[in-house]
Chain A
């Protein structure tokens, strides 16, 4: 009479299929059929081939077990988009120090680049990095090492070996590693009860610097787009990043590693691009600091923002002025003017600042309310010319009432207007 546990489980599964979880089911079916399609591509009725068959590398053994290590040395002469690997690997990365708030990157030979392929993006303890790639300049080549888990039991050995491999380095560069790769790896070290190698290393996450540098020009700044637009690299036969977890799961289930070949390739390319992009960004920054010309006026403006953030005001003013001279798109120019005026003000060059504010106010473009407010403040507090101050405040209010876009509230401007009127009537001056 009693059902076995297996029967109950089957029944539960059937019930789930019919109940309110149709949407979840649809999703699962979709994944399954994707797996199925991939499986069909495999030659039928042969024993699966392991990773050694498809990727150059070897099984390594250490105190914690075994794992698979793939290595390649990319000679410096090989072209990579607009560059050669050698330019990348011998680059001076000191331009990137500007993003490190006081810290300095060591020589490029002491810097390592890292990227992982994982079983998902969910994070937490159930997401595993099954392929960890590192790249570093060594001799006359860029040496890429990829630590791979043939199965979960390889993890401890791979993590142990990775920690050893990281020992000679002082700094690590990633793309989005701050919020993804490194916390994930820290978790894996904790789970494996091994000490994490990362606490010792200076970390630069290139995601935000790259965004600051190229967002105006590219809008979206994921690695693939940067690689295509900035480095001029076109990937061939690459795998869709979203497919990677299920490729690995398929491999775990079948033992057939063919599908993983493009994943190694993908990871390797990501590493080279990361290194190349770091070199390029460092070069652009250094060029900007040296007042050298840049291809794009948008890049000059981005540089000026980066310098401003790093409190290098002289370089910021110079880059911004050059960007304006070179000509900026209408949507960006008022912003650049506004920042430039702000820089002048901060360095007490009020005449230069006033000239720009007046220009912005005259155009009635974006930031015109802000400019009027700055002018009002200037005339009220520094020039002590209440009539002018009142005039600019009234202009600001008029613009706001015409619903000009601004972060300044009508209340704030009205409040200023009232105070100025009070002040000027006290001073006996007629506002008219």
Chain B
């Protein structure tokens, strides 16, 4: 918001520098020239979002006069309606969640009440939490403007891992507005709360920006960090009020209430104006109808981006993975070669880059020096990179909320802008590309958290005990605190004295707990071509699949060959190389059910009795089958998941053909988590008029489709939800188990496949890829019917003859009848 004036000043120049119609002509070109003469595809939808008028509100009475004066000087005659409403609710003492799109002036929604409070009471304190350091930096600039104009009433500082040690004391003493992130609050502030006494005593507001990013694991952690924060504030006699903002999701109020564990008021009606905007969905044409292969979405994203970049339009390309980001950077750099020594026209931007590099890219984007950037979701959040003309989404981002968030990066207030989503052949992309009405009509996803995930809770309980002894009568989440404390006492972490448990360990528990990933371990990438130097880092879970031995690791478009993978030392040694191919890891998963929480008929009705009459299941005939279950069931519960990366494929750039493979011997990872699973009894399988292999392919295909739809139903990345097919058999001895090499492991999977000639009772598992689960399984269980119904819609709606990557998986993987069998199977189940 604060940059409004500068933005207004820029707009005139910007419009002069490019023809107003260039966005439209580029879209036209994509519409006409990108069509493939033979195959289906091309632009499947263009939506025009007309400009929208602003809704205004008068200045709330409680705002201090000098605050209003400053805003008027900056050119604000009035407030947008949602800004005034948020300020009023905050002033009335409510916790609020504000939901508005990018560039609707949401920062003012929380800055108004906070700045009013700080300006009127010199003792009052506020804390701002941003999910990334970059966002915090951004806000600091804005808040410093306020500080200048309010003559010292606002003293704002960022306090994060980059804050120099010698500045920290001064910040604690002086700041009345502390900008930080949840990680720093967790590991740097709460464990040292005595140094922050004056802040906690007078903590009036806690601002949580981008609340929707705190879902799943991260959100479950944040909820616990806030439990600790409130506990410490209580110790000093403070009780903060929470002001949150969120991108559009289906349940912002619920998510806020779950994370804050407080009542919240929702502010949803957006009063900000917006300019005309296009949203285009482009589906690359089919080039091989037999195999359902479309033109590479990466190549098509490149062409799309090039079409805009050639017209001088500032373009941001979003890719869904680090790998895709790097591939696109490489392609686009080739398209816009620069003379040696000149700055690149196109750059990459993602998590593994060093902070200084990222700041420079943000600045160059803002100041228009950089025309094109390819980014991961790292640029999805509200970092100020100025107004962009175009956002190209290389692949469906995985959630509807993310899609709108990324698309919102193009076009802020004035001037036509466009977002183009290029569908990949992934099932969800195809579902969206072929059902654009579904996409445009659907509410975005839900955000779920599970703050009582046992592992997460126990970790934070340790931190809480470190911060203040845990009293017998305290509550911390919904589980029984005494039992948890007794457990930690047995494990040697706590000691009970009188009525409280005290921390009795030499360690500093917050250091061992990362809020963001399964393991706090990161793998460091060491480049050894010349003098060894660290060029980046990769978190534990992706390290196993991206920097294993012989992998091609790509960063900023440069390729590195991994020479040595030091699992114990958490390092990968790489050498620069120029490879024709990139690598894609193959992993193997085994699941065991530990406990079933709930089980019910998977059919539409949900009641087992109703279904048993209807189903035209032709039973196996023998007496065993009669007593065995005849109906597919939906279940959720606890499972043990063992995964191992056993090898990798080499895939050629541009053509994407498989040009080789290799074996790997990496340690097996085991975790206990929660899962939803569909159990298909032998009777149902046997009733399918297909061969054993075909039946198995059908099950596999159905599993693939279910995973795709499940990520749509619960707001999560495909990465957070694992899929596996297992067998519902007590006797596992039948499947040869190898303890040796990955090669044999894979063979054992195949043995398992061919062994299915005999009786076969498959389970399709969708599991939370986080130890203990993060709350995705139960919603999936409840939405099971919707899940299966949409899986059928996805498969039968797909135009391919016998299965393709867009529905059940490629025919090569699921056999020729995979698609047909999957549909038949669904008919039996539903």
Contacts and interface: CB of A to CB of B under 8 A. Distances in A.
Interface of A: 1-3, 5-6, 8-9, 11-13, 15, 18-21, 24, 28, 31-32, 119-126, 128, 151-153, 186-187, 190-191, 245-246, 249, 252-253
Nearest to B504: A249
Contact of B672 (A12, A21, A24, A119): A12
Q: Which of A9, A12, A119, A124 has the most CB of B within 10 A?
A: A124
Interface string B285-303: 0000000000000000000
Given A19-B671, A153-B497, A9 B487 contact: yes
Interface in B452-476: 454-455, 458, 465-469
B597 A2 contact: yes
A6 B480 CA distance: 10
6 contacts: A2-B597, A5-B479, A15-B671, A124-B466, A151-B498, A153-B498
Nearest to B506: A120
Contact of B506 (A6, A187, A245): A245
Contacts of A1: 595-597
A252 B495 contact: yes
Nearest to B501: A152
Nearest to B489: A253
Contacts of B469: 152
Nearest to A154: B497
Contact of A8 (B454, B491, B492, B508): B454
Contacts of A191: 194, 468
Interface string B429-473: 000000000000000000000000011001000000111110000
A152 B497 CA distance: 7
Interface size class on chain B is 35 or more
B503 interface: yes
B191 A126 contact: yes
Contacts of B771: 15, 19
A24 B597 contact: no
Chain B CB within 10 Å, residue with most, of A3, A11, A20: A20
A19 B670 contact: yes
Contacts of B455: 12
A126 B503 contact: yes
Contacts, number: 108
A13 B491 contact: yes
A5 B596 contact: no
A186 B498 CA distance: 24
Closest 10 A/B residue pairs (Cβ): A126-B466, A120-B506, A122-B508, A190-B194, A124-B191, A126-B503, A187-B194, A9-B487, A152-B497, A152-B502
A15 B669 CA distance: 11
Nearest to A249: B504
B252 interface: no
A12 B670 contact: no
Given A3-B595, A12-B458, A122 B519 contact: no
Given A12-B458, A122-B506, A124-B508, 20 more contacts: A3-B595, A6-B487, A9-B487, A15-B640, A15-B671, A15-B771, A20-B519, A20-B521, A21-B519, A31-B492, A125-B191, A126-B191, A126-B465, A126-B503, A126-B508, A151-B497, A152-B502, A191-B468, A249-B495, A252-B504
B599 to A, nearest CB: 9
Given A5-B484, A19-B669, A122 B504 contact: no
B384 interface: no
Contacts of A13: 491
Contact of B194 (A128, A153, A186): A186
A207 B562 CA distance: 46
B613 interface: no
B571 to A, nearest CB: 15
Nearest to A31: B492
Nearest to A14: B672
B483 A5 contact: yes
A245 B483 CA distance: 26
Interface in B676-703: none
A376 to B, nearest CB: 34
A24 B484 CA distance: 20
